[in-house]
């Protein structure tokens, strides 16, 4: 089966506890260190098998094959990708039934990661995630004072809308947000706004 490595924890020198987001499941598996083992890292897409262990212990990760991205050697793109995929671990680590949505979302983002600014790809994916989870606030009422927002918007964690005067953070064009929310396109966001939304997203999904 295939999946994305969304978290790694080192144990017993070089052994690893690996969390993998697959098509239908979130797996936490034990990876024994060995000279013949292929290298895995946060954000990698892998093909793998799991081997059930004794009752009460986690299954073992085995027969790992790295499915390389065409942009894997671009350090900047890889670093941003690792930051993005780690957010999914923090968001999903306590989930039981996750379905296929999150895997498909990462799969689509990975294929577009080098075709435009990757932060834009991530933001567009995140809006789809918020919409899927019923958390996308498309009506502009301030989260802090509950009053309508008539001009440009400020966003806080989870893209909650606020007045600029309530949070004293960067203004974001309401028209650009409408385009983002309606068509999942960051086309009308300028680079400064994109950086702001990326930083908000890094606070957690």
pLDDT per position as a tens digit, 182-198: 999 999 999 999 999 99
Sorting pLDDT into bands at 50, 70 and 90, what band is 31? confident
Higher pLDDT among residues 63 and 113, named by residue? 113
Question: Which tens digits make up the pLDDT trace of 3-23?
Answer: 999 999 988 777 889 999 999
Instruction: Please give the pLDDT value at position 55.
Output: 66
Q: Which residues contact 64 (CB under 8 A, 6 or more apart)?
A: 31, 37, 38, 40, 46, 47, 48
Nearest to 124 by CA among 186, 64, 63: 186
Burial class (CB in 10 A: 0-12, 13-18, 19+), 37: middle
Burial class (CB in 10 A: 0-12, 13-18, 19+), 8: middle
Judged against a pLDDT cut of 80, whether residue 33 lies above it is answered with no
Whole-model pTM? 0.92
């Amino acid at each position: 089966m295939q999946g994305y490595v969304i978290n790694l924890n080192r144990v017993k020198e070089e052994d690893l506890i690996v969390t993998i987001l697959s098509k239908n499941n979130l797996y936490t598996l034990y990876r024994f260190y060995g000279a013949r083992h292929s290298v895995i890292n946060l954000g990698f897409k892998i093909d793998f098998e799991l081997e059930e262990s004794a009752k009460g212990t986690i299954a073992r990760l085995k027969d790992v094959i790295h499915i390389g991205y065409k942009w894997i050697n671009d350090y900047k793109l890889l670093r941003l990708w690792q930051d993005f995929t780690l957010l999914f671990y923090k968001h999903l680590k306590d989930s039981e039934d996750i379905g296929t949505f999150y895997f498909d979302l990462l799969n689509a983002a990975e294929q577009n990661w080098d075709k435009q600014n990757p932060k834009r790809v991530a933001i567009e994916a995140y809006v789809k995630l918020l919409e899927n989870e019923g958390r996308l606030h498309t009506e502009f009422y301030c989260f802090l004072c509950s009053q309508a927002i008539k001009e440009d918007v400020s966003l806080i964690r989870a893209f909650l809308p606020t007045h600029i005067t309530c949070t004293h953070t960067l203004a974001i064009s309401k028209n650009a947000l409408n385009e983002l929310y309606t068509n999942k396109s960051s086309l009308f966001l300028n680079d400064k706004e994109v950086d702001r939304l990326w930083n908000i997203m890094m606070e957690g999904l």
